[in-house]
Structure 1
Amino acid sequence: MFNKALFKLEWKSNYKILVIFCLILTMYTTIMLAMYDPKLGTALETFAKSMPEIMAMVGMSGTPTTLIDFLSTYLYGLIMIVFPLIFGILLALRLVVRKVDNGVMSYLLCSGVERRSVWFTQMLVIITNLFVLIAFCTGLGLGCSALMFPGDLDIGAYLVLNLGVFILQLTLTGICYMCSCIFNEYRLASLFGAGIPIVFIMIQMLSNMQGSMEGLKFATLLTLFDPQKLINGNNEGYLMLGGLLVVMIVCYGVGGIIFDRKSMSL
């Protein structure tokens, strides 16, 4: 089912977007690490104390005592969720529904490429792009931490944390990819494919404020990604990642089945 020529073409067409997001996350990662001071606390803690509700809403609450705690709170609380997700959404929409909507998919299928091959190859393009992005951020974090705070980072916990982010991004992007395979119009795929993950993030932000809204956390998939449980080696955190994997497989699978059977004007 894998089409090597299509895979290479899509990578060549989209690598610039990947580079842009790598640069964006490089900026945020280095800035966040520069704000960490293991002896005097962090500048972000001052903000957290002066604006506790706002900081809690964006997942930046608590008082981290170690570098891995700091990163899991201030970098992986929101930044490493939002920016890779935006990248994944852009890819998922560009790779399928945009081609259907502008007629490119018609030429592709008429050239002899099977629908299943298109679905599978484009899925691999998304997975490999997200892998490169998260792997880059992982290497960047390891390198910067080694230079700025040698020996302070729990490398094992950091790798597990990034694995969790990777699985989360595959799942959320899988929702968008499923919508990209279901709809023939770009606007509808964008509405549902991007809208659902964005709603999940908004619900998570509201639930982070605690109080009467805390129960909303059960209405979003982001609850299945718990950085604190992952870095602490909690088995529940791993089981939650397993739940995300199940959702991911279902989303990509449903997208493939519908794309293979749906009606398209060729």
Structure 2
Amino acid sequence: MNPTLLLHDLRRILPMWTALTAVTAAYIAVVVAMYDPRANEGLDALVATMPELFAAFGMDGASATLSGFMVDYLYGFLLVLLPMVMVVAAVHGTLIRPIETGSMAYLLASPHSRRTIAGSALASVVASSAAMAVAVSVTEAVCVAVRAPGDVALADIAAMNLGLLALWLSMAGVCALSACAIGNASAALWTGAGLCAAQFLIRMLAQADDGMDVLRCATALTLFDPEGLAAGEGPAVCGAVALAVAGAAMCVAAVEVFRRRDLSL
């Protein structure tokens, strides 16, 4: 990894990261502000009108606790989908687009090795994901302190978001590996994005229909259990570790594939 290349790639990511982080923070603020244990009956009635739709997005009903409410209305959908868009766009901007436009030729002509170039690009994706996780944690902590002080421990927020970061890293690994392994730029982009989106859709189908619950085994999202992480449960922690290890392994593999790849620039 080279610090100059890392900063260069981070500058590419910054505008998109800022926009998506701001949108995510706004959604967090709205969801936390919606929490009201006295309004549970109204929310339950709304969920009862379209139970399959709400279940597909992980919103099974109004929780009696703020942490459960956040898991239902944030961690099942928004905090997976929006960061997924950020990860896909970051990989595209740092690895796919430079090859597509030919600007990668300038980097390859520099004294930096291919491993350094690819490693710096992926380091920027990981750093932006970590920064987003920090921003999400800070936003949640502030909103909880304003809306319901003491209802959610900071340690619980940190545990859930560390698991969330592990999930994002696994998505980054999928996108990076497809970006480095596939020669066609459009195919590389849509393969990584499609695999991540497919996992999300598969989980939605499994949640919407109990008869399709077996589909949960076909997606890595099953390993992400925010409630279990907040409670410190062993299986949830192991799932998060597995996601992080898988993401790191795919990123290392992506760097090696890029190092050996024949680039026509």
Same fold (TM over 0.5): yes
- For the 8 Å contact 2:200–2:221, the answer to whether it is kept is yes
- Aligned pairs for 1:96-245 (under 5 A) are 96-245=95-244
Q: Which structure has greater helix proportion?
A: 2
RMSD between aligned alpha carbons?
1.4
CA distance in 2, matches of 1:166, 1:216: 23
Identity of aligned residues (%): 27
Partner of 2:37: 38
- For the 8 Å contact 2:13–2:93, the answer to whether it is kept is no
- Aligned pairs for 1:46-65 (under 5 A) are 46-65=45-64
After superposition, the C-alpha distances for 1:187-209 in whole angstroms (9 at most, x for unaligned) are 01112110000000000000002
* Residue 46 (structure 1) shift: 3.6
Q: Please, which runs of 5 or more residues in structure 2 have no aligned partner?
A: none
CA distance in 2, matches of 1:187, 1:32: 36
For residue 203 of structure 2, give the secondary structure of its aligned residue in structure 1.
helix
* Residue 211 (structure 1) shift: 2.3
Partner of 2:262: 263
Q: Please, which runs of 5 or more residues in structure 1 have no aligned partner?
A: none
* Residue 43 (structure 1) shift: 5.6
19-28 or 36-45, which deviates more = 36-45
CA distance in 2, matches of 1:130, 1:207: 27
112-121 or 58-67, which deviates more = 58-67
- For the 8 Å contact 2:12–2:94, the answer to whether it is kept is no
Partner of 2:3: 4
- For the 8 Å contact 1:36–1:43, the answer to whether it is kept is no
| One-letter amino acid of the counterpart of residue 188, structure 1 | A
After superposition, the C-alpha distances for 1:64-120 in whole angstroms (9 at most, x for unaligned) are 111111111111111000000100000011111211111111111112221000111
CA distance in 2, matches of 1:130, 1:56: 27
- For the 8 Å contact 2:55–2:208, the answer to whether it is kept is yes
Q: 1:56 to 1:132 in 2, by over 3 A?
A: same
| One-letter amino acid of the counterpart of residue 64, structure 1 | S
- For the 8 Å contact 2:167–2:243, the answer to whether it is kept is yes
- Aligned pairs for 1:59-78 (under 5 A) are 59-78=58-77
Moved segments of 4+, more than 3 Å: 42-46
CA distance in 2, matches of 1:243, 1:97: 27
- For the 8 Å contact 2:169–2:248, the answer to whether it is kept is no
* Residue 186 (structure 1) shift: 1.6
